Structure 1
């Protein structure tokens, strides 16, 4: 079967390295209970989909990409929020619940 180039989906390149990836116990329980893929969340974060942030916080993240500062994303699933934080040196990325911060 021949595939036309126009029909091929190119993967979106990550904007930054995640470093070591961690999740807090509370975040793991929530993700498992709700069927949320941590890989999918990390992928969104790494592609610059910052989730439910105000415009100013999204701009701050965009600037942090250039300056090498901390990156922050927030995602809502029903009444539950999950945060992802990548440290400024890109050595660690953590998925957590806001109350675990």
Structure 2
């Protein structure tokens, strides 16, 4: 049985919002500079409401932030 942390709702097919600005972690910048990941695929997941491996409280905060045009958090492995 999967923990609640990994039970994600299905992402939307269309973006939920247009990103105004993005803040990537230093680790993501490091990986991208070396060509080890493409951040665009994660940004595409984020704007469709797939926020990755976050807890339920953060997921609920993201839902509220979406309605209020505030900061949303995502985390991917």
Which of the five TM-score ranges fits, normalised by the shorter chain?
Answer: 0.5 to 0.7
- Of the two, which has the highest radius of gyration? 1
TM-score, scaled relative to structure 2 = 0.67
How far residue 42 of structure 1 moved from its aligned partner, in angstroms, is: 0.4
More strand by share: 1
Between the two proteins, the alignment pairs up a number of residues equal to: 66
For structure 1, list consecutive stretches of 5 or more residues without a partner in the other structure.
Answer: 1-10, 77-101
For structure 2, list consecutive stretches of 5 or more residues without a partner in the other structure.
Answer: 1-11
How far residue 65 of structure 1 moved from its aligned partner, in angstroms, is: 0.7
Q: CA RMSD in A?
A: 2.4
More helix by share: 2
Show the counterpart of 2:52.
51
TM-score, scaled relative to structure 1 = 0.53
